[in-house]
Amino acid sequence: MKARMEELVDAWDPQAEKPGKFSTDVKYQMQMQGASDYFLDSADRIHFFIEKDAGDEDGKIKNSLSKARSLNKVGHGLHVADPVFREYSQSSKVADLVEELGYRDPVLPQSMYIFKQPVTGSEVTSHQDSSFLHTTPRPTCMGLWLALDDATLENGCLWARPGSHLEAVRRVFVRNPEYFEGGNRKATQLVFENLDDSKAPAWEWEGKMPDGFEAPSSGLREKGFKALECEAGDLVVIHGQVDHLSLANTSAKPRETFQLHLVEGPGEGITWSPRNWLQYPTGKTFPSLRPSARKRKAEDSDP
Ligand SMILES: O=C(O)CCC(=O)C(=O)O
């Protein structure tokens, strides 16, 4: 996967294809991702997003950085658009795990390759994945976070808050009706909406870092977060309601990961919200991980 990503980055021409900037900071998300067709169009394609401090006002990569070192992530359709990432994403190994975890009609809406660059890789603020990948009538999102390097306290491993999977989804990141239905092209494309549910009190760190987070042992642990250090090749399974985050990489070591996000599909009576930021072009469906669908596909391609 690392070798394939190097090829993709080598072939990427940031002049021809102006990269998007990416940050999980709430204000920035509303301003930048919230106003970018490059982000919205990345659903089933391979698009490149640079660190927010790696570009100038026009989104051009600063001269001091190589294109490879400027990248925050590549997404969100590697699992459909690239043969190497597709082979893993739609493999029996992944499908069997997902089935074992209780999914009956799993589909794969999203994938991301996150770089967390040495020294410049920024933090990912606390969030629930079901805020970004929303299904009805119940949340069904699950993340499969594959470490491509050892992930440690030094290079920005994951942190998660045990027990938070029992909490409700607090908010959703959705297409703004003012822009998409009202036609107001000056409005922000994407907005956060708090879910009106008394069982879901606001989590104080949602979308922002706590004071003093640079010293994780004092801040994060007191709030109940646990570090998930792991080795290259380990897979962390993340329930869609679990609060999780990662700190900046202040070390000289890389911390690359490939991540899949899946949800239950229509066979289980689950609907992908039409308000989600991520929508495939009309007529194109998320790949299915259901064993019968995969078996049929293999038989069809077998001469
Ligand atoms: O890789 C990271 O640093 C965090 C990724 C994450 O939070 C996610 O995929 O939901």
Task: Please indicate whether residue 55, judged by its CB atom, sits closer than 6 Å to ligand 1.
Answer: no
Q: Which atom of ligand 1 is nearest to the CA of 114?
A: 1
Q: What is the model's pLDDT at position 21?
A: 56
Q: Calculate how far, in angstroms, residue 295's C-alpha sits from the geometric centre of ligand 1.
A: 31
Residue whose CA lies nearest to ligand 1 atom number 9 = 259
Surface-to-core class of residue 280, CB atoms within 10 Å of its CB (0-12 exposed, 13-18 middle, 19+ buried): middle
Task: Please indicate whether residue 244, judged by its CB atom, sits closer than 6 Å to ligand 1.
Answer: yes
Task: Please indicate whether residue 246, judged by its CB atom, sits closer than 6 Å to ligand 1.
Answer: yes
Task: Please indicate whether residue 129, judged by its CB atom, sits closer than 6 Å to ligand 1.
Answer: yes
Which homologous superfamily does the CATH classification assign to the domain defined by 2-301? Answer: q2cbj1_9rhob like domain (2.60.120.620)
Q: Which residues contact 280 (CB under 8 A, 6 or more apart)?
A: 43, 44, 109, 286
Q: Is 108 helix (H, G, I), strand (E, B) or coil?
A: strand
Q: What is the model's pLDDT at position 62?
A: 76
DSSP class per residue in 22-75: E---HHHHHHTGGG-HHHHTTTTSEEEEEETTSB-TTSPBPTTS-HHHHEEEEE
Nearest Cα to 76, choosing from 265, 262, 278, 237?
278
Where are the alpha helices (H) located in 150-262, listed in sequence order? 177-180, 216-222
Nearest Cα to 235, choosing from 125, 138, 93, 62?
93
Q: Calculate how far, in angstroms, residue 225's C-alpha sits from the geometric centre of ligand 1.
A: 15
Q: Which atom of ligand 1 is nearest to the CA of 116?
A: 3
Pocket test for ligand 1, best of 144, 159, 244 (most atoms within 8 A of CB): 244
Q: Calculate how far, in angstroms, residue 130's C-alpha sits from the geometric centre of ligand 1.
A: 13
Q: Is 167 helix (H, G, I), strand (E, B) or coil?
A: coil
Residue whose CA lies nearest to ligand 1 atom number 3 = 246
Nearest-5° angle of CA 36, CA 41, CA 46? 115
The residue to which tokens 């990961």 are assigned:
257
Q: What is the model's pLDDT at position 300?
A: 63
Q: Which atom of ligand 1 is nearest to the CA of 123?
A: 3
Q: Which residues contact 281 (CB under 8 A, 6 or more apart)?
A: 44
In tens digits, the chain (303 residues) has pLDDT values of 999 999 999 999 887 766 665 555 544 444 444 447 889 999 999 999 988 878 776 667 877 678 898 999 999 999 999 999 999 999 999 999 999 999 999 999 999 999 999 999 988 988 999 999 999 999 999 999 999 999 999 999 999 999 999 999 999 999 999 999 998 988 989 998 988 665 555 666 676 666 665 555 557 888 889 999 999 999 999 999 999 999 999 999 999 999 999 999 999 999 999 999 999 999 999 999 997 665 656 666 665
Nearest Cα to 18, choosing from 76, 77, 67, 66?
67
Q: What is the model's pLDDT at position 14?
A: 86
Q: What is the model's pLDDT at position 221?
A: 84
Q: What is the model's pLDDT at position 152?
A: 96
CB atoms closer than 10 angstroms to residue 72: 27
Nearest-5° angle of CA 127, CA 243, CA 39? 25
